[in-house]
Amino acid sequence: MYKMSTQQTLKVFVTRRIPQEGMQILQNSGMCNLSVWDSDEPVPRAELLQGVAGAHGLICLLSDKIDAEVLDAAGPNLKVISTLSVGFDHLAIDEIKKRGIRVGYTPDVLTDATAELTVALLLATCRRLPEGVEEVKNGGWSTWKPLWLCGYGLSGSTVGVIGLGRIGLAIARRLKPFGVKRLLYTGRQPKPQAQEIDGEYVPLDTLVRESDFVVVSCSLTPDTQGLCDKTFFGKMKKTAIFINTSRGAVVNQEDLFEALSSGQIAAAGLDVTTPEPLPTDHPLLTLKNCVVLPHIGSATYSTRGVMSELTANNLLAGLTGSEMPTELKL
């Protein structure tokens, strides 16, 4: 842990080493007494509770569980929580609201990077790229064979997007030029912006049954927790591909393992799991038809830099009582 003091008394606790762009803004503001958990690894719970004591502002990541215990440890000075993420399921929103604390988050800026990664994961999964790389390395590549490493293509296919928000729409926009025939989506209500991608608003049941590719990009809520379970996978086509870049808890992983190992569905690509990191002995990692990435949806240098800047600016606005660039409406 390191500290950088100024004459001002606004204590800010930062739960991790964040990209320099954001740190620079905080240091240059001249109003923060910064206390940083100076590591790439998550802050231990005891250190978090200690570090947040008396803080006016908190910068956290999605791996930090900010609950009533943390808020109590912080005490009455805490005015603002700024999270370096678009998701906020790690924050006890009811408790935060009760205490009148403002929350900043980083929507929009990671939309393009996450959408690109989702398309990359989808293609890697349906065209079996990790298997192909492995075969080259282990000597499995012998001669050309008509059906060897065959997968499924997007041309003429039906794609179903669960949750056509910012990221869902960005994914659909990128998939459309691959020659996708129908683009289905589901959510709480029809979206006017779906017209630009000729999106059809359908019930979840229809989407799951008719899609060749099911892409999950909804937020984690009590309604979506465990949404993709045995019944869900049982309705999918045997040739269908399942992709999740939203939150791990939307999927029942035991049911997904069963669906993949029994041939109920063709393959799955995941950028999010429960827990994260996924233990190396997890059953899903024994399957050739399951591609798992280490939650790198927004991992481009520029995106992470912009996220860091936005997180810092949200925090400063919260400390001064001014309008945040992106405030979570509680």
Residue 87 is predicted with a pLDDT of 87
Query: Residue 21 pLDDT > 60, yes or no?
Result: yes
Mean of all residue pLDDT scores within the chain: 95
The CA R_g of the chain, rounded to the nearest whole Å, is: 22
Distance CA 319, CA 188 (A): 35
CB 132 within 8 A of CB 231: no
User: Around Cβ 249, how many Cβ atoms within 10 Å?
Assistant: 17
Alpha-carbon distance of 57 to 77, in angstroms, equals: 8
pLDDT band at 4 (very low <50, low <70, confident <90, very high): low
The CATH number assigned to the domain with range 129-288 reads 3.40.50.720
d(CA 236, CA 85) in angstroms, rounded, equals 31
Q: pLDDT, tens digit, for every residue of 196-238?
A: 999 999 999 999 999 999 999 998 899 999 999 999 999 999 9
Task: Give the pLDDT confidence of 134-183 residue by residue, as tens digits.
Answer: 999 999 999 999 999 999 999 999 999 999 999 999 999 999 999 999 99
Angle between helices 166-175 and 111-126 (to 10 degrees): 50
Answer yes or no: 295 catalytic. Answer: yes
Catalytic residue among 56, 90, 282, 295: 295
Q: What is the pLDDT of residue 139?
A: 96
Q: What pLDDT score was predicted for residue 182?
A: 98
Percent of the chain whose predicted confidence (pLDDT) is above 90: 95
Instruction: Indicate the domain borders of the chain.
Output: 10-107+301-328, 129-288
Q: Do domains 10-107+301-328 and 129-288 have the same CATH topology?
A: yes
Do you know the residue count of the chain?
Answer: 330
pLDDT in tens, 72-97: 999 999 999 999 998 898 999 999 99
| Inter-residue contact 208 to 160 (CB < 8 Å) | yes
Structure confidence at residue 295 (pLDDT) = 96
pLDDT at res. 132: 97
Name the pTM for this structure: 0.88
Quote the CA–CA distance of 46 and 49 in Å, as a whole number. 5
Residue 3 has pLDDT above 70, yes or no: no
CATH 3.10.20.340 fits 10-107+301-328, yes or no: no
The stretch 310-322 carries a mean pLDDT of 97
pLDDT band at 2 (very low <50, low <70, confident <90, very high): low
Q: Which residues contact 286 (CB under 8 A, 6 or more apart)?
A: none
| pLDDT of 6 | 43
